[in-house]
Every structure is written in C-alpha cells, then in structure tokens.
Amino acid sequence: MLKKLLIASALVATSALAQHNVDIDGASFQSGGADASLTALGREAAASGARLIITAPHEWHARIAAKVKAGGKAQLVLRDGFYESVLVRVEDKGAQRQEASKEAAAAAAADRTRAQAQRSKAELEQAKAEAEAARAEADKARAEAEAARIAAEQAQAEAAAARAQLEADAAARAEAERVAAEQ
C-alpha cells in the first residue's frame, strides 16, 4: 500500500513540476504592460514544445492569441474565465503525454461502459421478448382452459337434457303401460 502511495505521489509531483502558472491582472493586460510577458511565454513555449493553457474572459482571447503567437508558434489552448485576469499555465510535453494517456484511458473506460450498456440493453430486450412470449403462452393456456370449461358445461347440459329425455321416455312408457293395464 505504501509503495502505491509513493508511486502516486511521485506522478503527481512530476506533473506539478512539469508546469508552472503565470497570473496577469486585468489592469496590466488592458494597459499593455503584460504584452512582453505574453510574447516571452509564447517564445519559450514554442522553443520547448510546451503547451500554454490560458484562462481569460472570452473577449480577450483574440488579443491574447495574437500576443502569444507574436512570440512563436506555441501550442495554445484558450479557456473562458469569469474574472478580469489572465491565468497562463505552461505544461511541458511530459505533462501533455500524461494527460493524453489519462484521456485515452478515460476514453477506453467510456467505450467499455458504452459496450456494457449496449449488452445490458440487448439483455433487457431479450428478457422483454421472453416475458412477452411467456405472457402469450399464458394467454393461450387461459383461452384453452376457458374453451375446455365451456365444452364441459355444454357436455353437462347435454347430459342433463339426455337424462330429462330418458326420464320423460320412462314416464311415457309407464303411462302407456298403466293405460294398457287398465284396458
């Protein structure tokens, strides 16, 4: 456990050492006092291959990009900020690679999650289809049971009618025998 903690802290320390921040207040930027520092940061980033991540109000992005590009062709990422200040974070290539590997790992995890979700969705659809088939089978069995009940009731009615006919025939024969015995 301690070994894992040491490795994690070393990775964090490496990425922390690989970047530094420069904060420029809004008044300095608006007055043009920060132009030289932005140009110098652009020159250093272009020379070292580092990436500049700049957070500032959206209205300032074009001016900041022009000043940084005047120093050299640095890789530039502009993000919207809500405070009237310019925050410049310089990331070296190691931090970029580390961030790219984190993004790749996150993308792979998202792909795995998406695939799992699709499998779950397919299993859900299959379970729904099986439930629907079972429901249809139960409805069919219910209909067959109802048909059998109706057939049994008809058979009982026919049997009762046949019994009544036999009783009527027996009564008629008995009456005929009685009449014949009286004559």
Domain spans of the chain, in order of start: 19-91
Beta bridge partners of 77: 53
Quick one: pLDDT at residue 46? 86
Cβ(68)–Cβ(74) under 8 Å?
Answer: yes
Quick one: pLDDT at residue 161? 93
Quick one: pLDDT at residue 124? 96
Quick one: pLDDT at residue 51? 86
pTM for the model: 0.42
Quick one: pLDDT at residue 151? 94
**pLDDT < 50 positions in the chain:** 2, 5-6, 8, 10-18
- Compute the half-sphere exposure of residue 81: CA atoms within 13 Å on the CB side of its CA: 19
Quick one: pLDDT at residue 96? 61
Quick one: pLDDT at residue 23? 86
